[in-house]
Copies of this chain bind each other. A is one copy, B any other.
């Protein structure tokens, strides 16, 4: 049922199979870590060559105007915006996700100056919590934390105090998906402003920031968007908040007229208000080239495929890995599962090293999670089949099961471990 031939048949029928041609991948490698760093789109080297050897070298300072470097963060922001359901002019690229989280959470909190609580999910990437604690301290606020699944209950309990809800629509460890629209609506009922961290969703799941009424959002360029290591991040701000948006990182390119170099600060009226300093033009040009791939596909097709890839992985898991020391952590329901499957195993680190030695790349989130991310643009059903086959070979031959360690239990909590 999950034979190599089945995988091949699924690949033959895959309407997105053509997209793999737009990537360069090392031969013999099954790459299932695109939720950490996306693979290299084939257009990137040429784009960088042009930026460096035609623009920088030949045009020098004029590149800022003649080659559009100055406009790039807004132009590329709109390209990302198209993938996340943002209207044009509401997304700008630049800096790192961490910097954008700081800017977004501070700005959001200042939209509700009478409230003193930032509600932050415990399942988001750690940088979100660390920066929220810093913002709260600067603004004299408190941070309350809840699991994503408990955000609604937290809002019921003390919603009237909450200025900002910071959440992630995909749990980076388990791959569980949460409902942006429902949580945003709930936050709005309580009078709070939402900030969404889209790092593990953008480019993999259909997002509809405008339709869902999202207030602010941030995300990175290097996971499913494939913009390269440390690619610039992005920030989205809803139109209704922009005029009042009072962002703390008031770098000169957020000024209404930066080249007048005025003594006084006056923020730009448009989304340039969320620019900070000089954009990292080389890194941006790689992200720009990566986004070309998304012009040839739809996010709906991407999502349809990664749902099927996940389902096929779980079928392979059930047949070959279940009961052999592994637990399935990711939800089985298609619409509750992001573009990844996560397993737990007491020997996660050793197994992942052994997998890598046999050409299957995923990653570990300590202590017990094995993460396998699926970028629909270049991952095939045959890749999934091979990954599970190799993992089955590496598992305990007698099918013995080792219990998760105590620290693993604490980290995961019972609710995360779907059998």
**How many copies are assembled?**
2
Cβ contacts under 8 Å, A248 to chain B: 102, 134, 138
User: Is A215 engaged at the interface, CB distance under 8 Å to the other chain?
Assistant: no
Q: Is the CB of B261 within 8 A of A131?
A: no
Q: Is the CB of A98 within 8 A of B283?
A: no
Task: Pick the contact of A278: B52, B222, B252, B284 (CB < 8 A).
Answer: B222
The segment from A37-45, A187-195, A338-346 found at the interface with B is A37-45
In the assembled complex, the CB of A220 is this many whole angstroms from the nearest CB of chain B, namely: 7
A360-397 CB contact bits vs B (8 Å, 1 = yes)?
01010110000000000000000000000000000000
User: Is A127 engaged at the interface, CB distance under 8 Å to the other chain?
Assistant: yes
In the assembled complex, the CB of A127 is this many whole angstroms from the nearest CB of chain B, namely: 4
User: Is A142 engaged at the interface, CB distance under 8 Å to the other chain?
Assistant: no
State whether A229 and B126 are in contact (beta carbons under 8 Å apart), knowing that A45-B49, A133-B250, A261-B365 are contacts in the complex. no
State whether A130 and B250 are in contact (beta carbons under 8 Å apart), knowing that A40-B56, A60-B33 are contacts in the complex. yes
The segment from A23-31, A160-168, A204-212 found at the interface with B is A23-31
Interface residues of A in 227-259 (CB under 8 A from B): 228-233, 248-255, 258-259
In the assembled complex, the CB of A152 is this many whole angstroms from the nearest CB of chain B, namely: 21
Determine the distance from Cα of A44 to Cα of B281 in the docked complex, in whole angstroms: 14
Task: Pick the contact of A53: B45, B60, B259, B261 (CB < 8 A).
Answer: B45
User: Is A183 engaged at the interface, CB distance under 8 Å to the other chain?
Assistant: no
A265-287 CB contact bits vs B (8 Å, 1 = yes)?
10000000000111111111010
Q: Show 27 residue pairs from A and B whose CB-CB distance is below 8 angstroms, ordered by the A residue.
A: A24-B57, A25-B57, A33-B60, A37-B60, A39-B60, A44-B52, A48-B48, A48-B282, A61-B361, A62-B361, A64-B229, A96-B251, A96-B277, A98-B251, A98-B252, A98-B277, A98-B278, A126-B255, A126-B262, A127-B252, A129-B265, A130-B265, A138-B139, A231-B282, A232-B280, A281-B283, A282-B282
